[in-house]
Amino acid sequence: MAAPRGPSPIVQGMPVRSSHITSLLPFALALMPLPAVIVAGAFASASIAVVILGGLWLAWVDRARLMLAGQLALLAATGVMALTYPGKPTEGVLFAATALCALAWPRLLDHLSARTLTGARVVFVASAVLLPVLLLVRALYLHAEIIPPFSLAPDMLAKPTFLAMPLVPAAVLLLVRWRFCTPLAAAFTSFMAIMAVGSASSTATLGFALGAAAVLAAYRRPWAGFGVAAGVLLLPLALSLAVQIAGVTDWSQVWLRGSWIHRLDLWQRALILFQQAPWTGHGFDTYAHIQGAVDMGTLTFEHVGRNHAHSAAMQLLAEGGAPALLALFGLLALLAFPPGRPRADRLREAARLGTLAAAVTPPAIGLNLWSDFTTMLVMYPLLAFALFVPARPDALSPGRGGTAPAPAASPG
């Protein structure tokens, strides 16, 4: 008869010997940006699969029974809903399961050797650098005929470019802290600035700019970096209120290009829907179905079928009211200031808040809130940052189990 298994060595404060599967997990996560070169949806689907499988494996290895039970329950609910009631609610449960699995990934640091972690960091930096380079090559050689004047990439590659922007702070910080790689960090930053300005998507340009602004602001005051991320989320609400207060009666009075006028129109419709039901909203995933019936008076814009709000904040206000928006900012604050973060490492803190600001910019002013790509656009860069960007030794929390990473080590 086999002896009963004792408590996990992690619980006892001892590092666990890494298995082959566990050692492959960080490399799989590090490679996730590259499928976006083909299509943005490939990145989203692959990332969700890797995060879920990795989270289940780590919860199993660490015998975190409560977490494992929660993960399996949400995945089972996703399967049942997919068979009986497919649609956005089912995707919402899947995203919740993905988030719960992502919470298990920091346990990975207690299972890996310093050599494995260093190798995974090199792969992550290579992926972060190759993604925009390959996107530029694809744009110039396959889509040159549709690139607008004074641009480097067409709007059809906007989503992969959105992903490239929040990966910049982590990649640059790792390069700066590796010996002899500071010139490469400067070259990569310059290249990404050119890519941001040269993108046909103004959202990609703004994502890079706000990410950089958040890094600079957060280096002095972390709350200032958080303010950049919060500010871009609230920008559509501020503009919508300004339109109402100014008494705009015709969109021709607003000197913006057509795509932004279209967004202003969608945001104004969301504001009106919010004003109709400020505490309860109109229900989950209802905006696209009801926004066309909103009476805009003389303030109308051409619409083609159903459309999402192009703003996370405005969509939440229309569908869930003020409580939903408050919940969003509670989540944002938790992502910005997670428990146990190494506060003494100011540069790492600033880079992480820059990652957050760049990641939330596309859903703040453009992407559909309820989509797999939006979910992973925010989740993946923050998870990769937590795993691959170590704190300096003097900023590590005392008593942490496992192998403490060496931030200043050369990738070689």
User: Does residue 312 belong to any structural domain of this protein?
Assistant: no
Q: What is the distance between the alpha carbons of residues 279 and 93, in angstroms, rounded to a whole number?
A: 23
Query: Domain count of the chain?
Result: 1
User: Does residue 117 belong to any structural domain of this protein?
Assistant: yes
User: Does residue 63 belong to any structural domain of this protein?
Assistant: yes
Q: What is the distance between the alpha carbons of residues 212 and 354, in angstroms, rounded to a whole number?
A: 6
User: Does residue 213 belong to any structural domain of this protein?
Assistant: yes
Q: Is the pLDDT of residue 121 over 90?
A: yes
Summarize pLDDT for 55-66 with one digit per residue, the tens.
999 999 999 999
Q: What is the distance between the alpha carbons of residues 213 and 357, in angstroms, rounded to a whole number?
A: 9
Summarize pLDDT for 299-334 with one digit per residue, the tens.
877 765 688 999 999 999 999 999 999 999 999 999
Q: What is the distance between the alpha carbons of residues 176 and 306, in angstroms, rounded to a whole number?
A: 46
pLDDT of residue 226: 97
User: Does residue 292 belong to any structural domain of this protein?
Assistant: no
pLDDT of residue 393: 65
User: Does residue 352 belong to any structural domain of this protein?
Assistant: yes
Q: In the predicted model, what is the mean pLDDT of residues 136-156?
A: 92
User: Does residue 135 belong to any structural domain of this protein?
Assistant: yes
**What stretches of 366-396 show up as alpha helix (H) in DSSP?**
372-388
Q: Cα dihedral sign for 361, 364, 367, 372?
A: positive
Domain that holds residue 118: 21-233+319-392
Average pLDDT over all residues of the chain: 89
Q: Is the pLDDT of residue 227 over 70?
A: yes
User: Does residue 7 belong to any structural domain of this protein?
Assistant: no
Q: What is the distance between the alpha carbons of residues 402 and 109, in angstroms, rounded to a whole number?
A: 7
Q: Is the pLDDT of residue 20 over 90?
A: no
